[in-house]
Each structure stands twice: as structure tokens, then as C-alpha cells.
Amino acid sequence: MAFVTQHQIQKFHKDGFLVLEHFFTAEECDSMRNQIQRIIAEMEVPPHCRTEFSTKEEEQLQAQGSSDYFLTSGDKIRFFFEKGVLDERGNFLIPKEKSVSKIGHALHAYDPVFKQITHSSKVQELGRKLGLERPVVVQSMYIFKQPGIGGEVTPHQDATFLHTEPLGRILGFWIALEDATRENGCLWFIPGSHT
């Protein structure tokens, strides 16, 4: 696979990240965007988001429902919303396609479009070139950056969120499906911070 040079691989190991322009074709990016729109069109609001609560105890139950919904999402396709987009009965205050923060965490396992791309030969070959020996896809998600709403994502390392033994044995593939710029919120890296 000629698109990754030995120099780029060395730079990846030194810096902890690698940027590959046009790794996926425009058609592949379109297919992922179109598929996510179909998924949103069929989306049901989770029951814990449709709870009208009035007491501290009921608020705690709702928060527990949110935690359980998140923690048990590893083998499902689930919806996570921006703050303030649902009323107390779980009805959308804004168009539902603008309310979603992310969809996860098993698109790679249960959606045919994302499964095909995640397990494509070029992704497998890239993983091999970057040194993966027996890789396992532990999660996948579609993250939205909705205009005008949503909180800041503070600096972090994904490896601290996903428990592995030994620690840090995780590699993230981030696919920008639209142009990511400084103005609209691109991803930032600190070279060498993976060490």
C-alpha cells in the first residue's frame, strides 16, 4: 500500500499521530454521511430521556438511566444528545438531526456501511503498517459538531477512557467526513504526548 511511507510511519511513532489526506474516497465519505442520516431518521429517543422528573430522587434515577445507557452501549447502536435539546418529556426542542451529539458505540458491528468501511482491506493494511498485530475493534462512533450548541471537548487521551491491559494499547482512527478547520473545530494534537 503506497499511500503510507516509511517516513510517515516513523513520524507516527515519534509524534503519536498521522494525518492521511484522502484516505477514504469522496464516495465512501458520502456513504457514511448518508447512512447516518438514515439512522437518525429512524431514531427513537431512549426511555430515560423521556422521563419527566421533579424530585432529587427522580433526577438521580434519570442520571442512573443515562449512565447505564452509556455503559451498556458497547455492543449496540445508541444515541447521545446535546444538553438542552429535549424538554422534560423527551420531546425535541430543535430539529432532531441537530440534537445528536454522537451515535455509538458499535456501528462497526451492526451497521452494514460502517462495518464494511471499518473492516475494509485498506484499514486493515494501515493497521498492520502502524504495528497492530492482533487488532480488535472495541468501539466506533459518529461524532457530530452541531453549530451553535454543544460543550467544549477538553484536552484528553482516549486511552485513559478505554481500559486496556497493559494501559494504552489502543489506537484511534478519526475520520473527518467534512473539512475540519481551525474555524469549525478541527482535532488538535500535542506531538509526543502519547508517551
pLDDT for residue 126 is more than 60: yes
Nearest to 40 by CA among 76, 89, 75, 81: 81
Domain positions in the chain: 24-151
Query: Which amino acid is present at 21?
Result: E
Angstrom distance (rounded) from CA 180 to CA 90: 32
Phi–psi pair at 137, nearest 5 degrees: -85, 115
One-letter amino acid identity for 11? K
Q: Would you call 7 exposed, middle or buried from its count of C-beta atoms within 10 A (0-12, 13-18, 19+)?
A: exposed
Distant-in-sequence, close-in-space partners of 1: CB < 8 Å, separation ≥ 6: 122, 125, 126, 129
So what's the pLDDT on residue 49?
A: 86
pLDDT above 70 covers a percentage of the chain that reads 96
Maximum average pLDDT range among 4-18, 63-77, 82-96, 156-170: 4-18
b/e 10-48 (16+ beta carbons within 10 angstroms → b): eebeebbbbeeeebbeeebbebbeebbeebbeebebbeb
Q: Does CATH number 2.40.50.140 belong to domain 24-151?
A: no
Q: How confident is the model at residue 147 (pLDDT cuts 50, 70, 90)?
A: confident
Task: Measure CA 182 to chain center.
Answer: 19
Q: pTM value?
A: 0.90
